[in-house]
Structure 1
Amino acid sequence: MKKIVVIALLTSLFTSCIPNKDLIYLQNKDSKSNTIEIAQDASKPYRVQTNDIISVNIKALDQKLVAMFSPSQGGEQGTSQQELYFTGFTVDDHGNIRVPVLGEINVLGYTLDEIRSRIEKQLLDEYFKAEANLFVTVKLAGLRYTINGEIGSPGSKVLFQDKVTIMEAVANSGDITLTGNRKDVQIIRKFPHGFETYSLDLTDAKAMNSPYFYIQPNDYILVKPLKQKSWGTGTTGVQTVATIVSALSLVTTAILLSKNL
């Protein structure tokens, strides 16, 4: 009986605890090399999609001349996300934005740099000369993503950066919990043809070579739970032993009481 109890205790201990290697991010699992090679083309320029909000800011030597092209100074430092929602240019279902005076401009599938060049060229061709020293900036009104599952702070988040890695998104959301599966983090991404789902192993440094390592606006990130969470025996060795000892004590007490009856 004692042997059975010891075996059961050891088996539960090794199967219930979460190994340390499952908690460490971006490990170099190739023991033959100490270096990690990262592909330079892992992050490609984002191409604008419908429902994106774009901030367009136009400057010139005489700012009064370009004031009519901008309904506000949305996108300037200190502007809140709520203000950008109302002052930015939303890409409609046809892929167009409506800019004062310039009218509708199709931006669907274009990069931000391409949109900037188009607006700048139209201004110079139709309204200004080179001497005006136009300076046009086009940015996304924040990079919004939604993260759910085994994460410290789930929900929709906004980061005011041009590029955001999934590691930054996770850190901004309170990190993955101990019971979160870092080896199977799913990213659901919107494309013109629909949605695609991809899985990333964040414990492997090779994840940095994935085109999904850099998140895009409106990405949905799902962190699945480990099996240990449903077992309820604890996430550490101490918790597991304490749970099993408590269960054995309860069983022993029940057996003793039944014999005394």
Structure 2
Amino acid sequence: MSLKYIIYGAISLAMFSCATKQDINYMKDIDGIALENSIKNSRVDFQPGDQLIITVSAKDMDVVKPFNQNYASSTTITQYSIPSSNNLPQQTPLSGPTYNIDTNGDIIFPQIGKVSTKNENIETLRAKLTGLLSEYVKAPIVDIKLINFKVSVLGEVTKPGTYVIPDGNTTLFGALGLAGDLTAFGVRNNVLIVRNIDGQISKERIDLTSANFINSPYYYLKQNDVIYVQPNANREKAARVDPNTGLYISVASVIASITVGILALIKN
């Protein structure tokens, strides 16, 4: 009889192990994680390390040639576009004089010299350079591209990560498209966007099932916005199941088969 109780005990232990679950909800503190990511990377205006392509044009292009000298080499970056298939992003060369903003927030512009970008964005820097160039060129046209504009897309999307947007302009739908759209487990009516403007953190929950958010200030994304798509209840439930459950069931099945055989021998 003692052997019988030992066998029953082994079966009970195996079955208990099968029921063991583990809480692996990695993103319980996602607001804090996204907030930290945003504080680390966010800015609205230009800052040291930004890369700009600045080209000058006018009616007489020969006149503006001195202002289009390449003080830094042209760059090749990953060109992202909203995918219509499974094609990978392409490496695309962006032509034009490339300027790296130095640690003091300055660029060295041909013929003009040092130009500060502190507290400037694309629009205000364009106006500043247009004013400076007007002393040399009649009706100059200045084009500026921020070529390391990036946003982060996290959570229940097909391809989470940080995406560089070469034209410096994208919408929430555009960023989600780059990330391969939401998975079947993504909550579509509670998408989190974290933004940092001049040190002021804002967090907004967006309902993608409603068209009202198109008029929201979060429809068009800003530099280093962080987007998080939370998992639905089914995904969270699946995440809490011990990944070894299948192994436990297999072991329990083997033990049960052996037990049946031993009990049959004991009866005989």
**Take 1:158 and 1:221, find their aligned partners in 2: how far apart are those partners?**
14
Q: 2:143 aligns with which of 112, 137, 141?
A: 137
Deviations 1:107-149 (A, max 9, x none): 3343423321211211222xx142xx53321222253212111
> Is contact 2:56-2:67 (8 Å) kept?
no
Match of 1:102?
112
The residue type paired with residue 54 of structure 2 is: V
**Take 1:93 and 1:197, find their aligned partners in 2: how far apart are those partners?**
30
60-69 or 190-199: bigger deviation: 60-69
> Once the two structures are aligned, what percentage of the paired residues are identical?
24
Identify if the C-alpha distance between structure 1 residues 141 and 63 changes in structure 2 by more than 3 Å, giving closer, same or farther.
farther
Identify if the C-alpha distance between structure 1 residues 209 and 66 changes in structure 2 by more than 3 Å, giving closer, same or farther.
same
**Take 2:129 and 2:220, find their aligned partners in 1: how far apart are those partners?**
27
**Take 1:215 and 1:142, find their aligned partners in 2: how far apart are those partners?**
14
> Is contact 2:158-2:183 (8 Å) kept?
yes
Structure 1 portions without partners, runs of 5+ = 1-45, 234-246
The residue type paired with residue 69 of structure 2 is: S
1:209 is the counterpart of 2:215: yes
For the pair shown, the structure with the greater C-alpha radius of gyration is: 2
Deviations 1:143-190 (A, max 9, x none): 321211111111121233353110111012100111112222222223
**Take 1:160 and 1:81, find their aligned partners in 2: how far apart are those partners?**
8
**Take 1:119 and 1:196, find their aligned partners in 2: how far apart are those partners?**
32
Identify if the C-alpha distance between structure 1 residues 93 and 191 changes in structure 2 by more than 3 Å, giving closer, same or farther.
farther
Where 1:215 maps in the other structure, the secondary structure is coil
TM-score, normalised with respect to structure 2: 0.57
Q: 2:128 aligns with which of 79, 99, 118?
A: 118
Where 1:105 maps in the other structure, the secondary structure is strand
1:57 is the counterpart of 2:55: yes
The residue type paired with residue 206 of structure 2 is: L
**Take 1:187 and 1:103, find their aligned partners in 2: how far apart are those partners?**
39
> Is contact 2:176-2:182 (8 Å) kept?
yes
> Is contact 1:180-1:226 (8 Å) kept?
yes
**Take 1:190 and 1:105, find their aligned partners in 2: how far apart are those partners?**
26
Deviations 1:54-106 (A, max 9, x none): 2210134243753355326978xxx632766x963344555433323323323
Q: 1:88 aligns with which of 84, 98, 112?
A: 98
Q: 1:180 aligns with which of 179, 186, 191?
A: 186
Structure 2 portions without partners, runs of 5+ = 1-42, 79-92, 240-248
Identify if the C-alpha distance between structure 1 residues 183 and 91 changes in structure 2 by more than 3 Å, giving closer, same or farther.
farther
How many pairs does the alignment contain?
189
CA drift at 1:215: 0.6
Where 2:126 maps in the other structure, the secondary structure is helix
Match of 1:27?
none
1:192 is the counterpart of 2:190: no
RMSD over aligned CA atoms reads: 3.7
